[in-house]
Amino acid sequence: MTDADTITKNAKSNLAFTLVDLPEERRKNMARLYAFCRIVDDVVDEPGMTPEERHAALDRWSAVITCQVAPLPGIETEVQKLMQEQELDTAPLLELIAGCRGDIAPVQPQTRQELLAYAYKVASCVGISSAAVMGASEAARDYAIALGYALQLVNILRDVAEDYSRHGRIYLPADDMELFGVTIDDIGAKRYNYRVRQLLAYEAALAEKYFCEAEELYQALSVDDRNCLIPAQAMSLIYHTVLEKMQDDEYRVFERRYSVNNFRKLWFLLRARIGSFEFPSIAEWGFLTDEKKQS
């Protein structure tokens, strides 16, 4: 088992779960990409490093993916090989690194535009690169961007308490918090009240908007592209269900962490595969005689 496979398996993430649907070669390449994204995220989140060490580690990864340094054996070699063999555009992954770098000394977004700019870097750019590795065409780019927004907004809603208590991060826009009369102290004290519920519902509506946009873009893609993107579409189903759970439960994010069990994930993976299949028209089934076809 490669380093990338080990990292992906140990992560037990939703994305790692959906990769079982891919052909072996694409699954291996997606494991490399996922491992890179996981490591970059951990550089920022894991304890025991100074800010200077975190910046240096991200600098190193920027040099690895742009092939400016010789990679060390193991995951660096695997990631650089992925970049070269797939001829991946480095720009989205450099944007990801820039987004993660911003979390070293986090600044709360003032507006939704600033929030979406952050989500583009840490989620949509991952989607753009993932779509390429999974074999989708450039036509899938807008779908990847919209889905990235939706998934990241769900993450922010679900993890609002943990992000602040563990890392001192607030991703909810300051303008939106002011609109509903919610303060950072409310988040820190885990005050569950009407104002907080209304704020979270307001952000959830934005996530719903991007789920709908992503679905429309997905259905407009070619059958070949939809087949390539089955894992991404399964992710959409999984995360939308998490969002629905929060909505139904009135956003009790201070009390519990919302998730989907493995049985339902498998069902969503099957649904995504069925949904990507284009059924032939009745005329193509061959049930009609030539005479009836002409009538």
**Is the model's pLDDT at 288 over the cut of 90?**
no
Q: Tell me what the mean pLDDT of segment 247-268 comes to.
A: 93
pLDDT in tens, 96-123: 999 999 999 999 999 999 999 999 999 9
% of the chain with per-residue pLDDT over 70: 92
Q: Tell me what the mean pLDDT of segment 224-240 comes to.
A: 95
Report the b/e string of 149-166 with b at 16+ CB within 10 A.
Answer: bbbbbbbbbbbbbebbee
Domains of the chain with bracketed CATH: 1-105 (no CATH), 106-276 (1.10.600.10)
- Give the per-residue pLDDT at 276: 54
**Is the model's pLDDT at 290 over the cut of 90?**
no
* Cα-based angle 97, 103, 107 (whole degrees, multiple of 5): 130
Q: Tell me what the mean pLDDT of segment 210-216 comes to.
A: 97
Contact 44, 37 (CB under 8 A): no
* Cα-based angle 58, 64, 67 (whole degrees, multiple of 5): 145
**Is the model's pLDDT at 131 over the cut of 60?**
yes
In this structure, of 75-89, 216-230, 261-275, the range with the lowest mean pLDDT score is 261-275
Contact 136, 88 (CB under 8 A): no
Contact 215, 236 (CB under 8 A): yes
- Give the per-residue pLDDT at 262: 87
- Give the per-residue pLDDT at 283: 43
Overall pTM > 0.85? yes
Q: Tell me what the mean pLDDT of segment 244-252 comes to.
A: 97
Find tokens 């070699």 and name the residue.
77
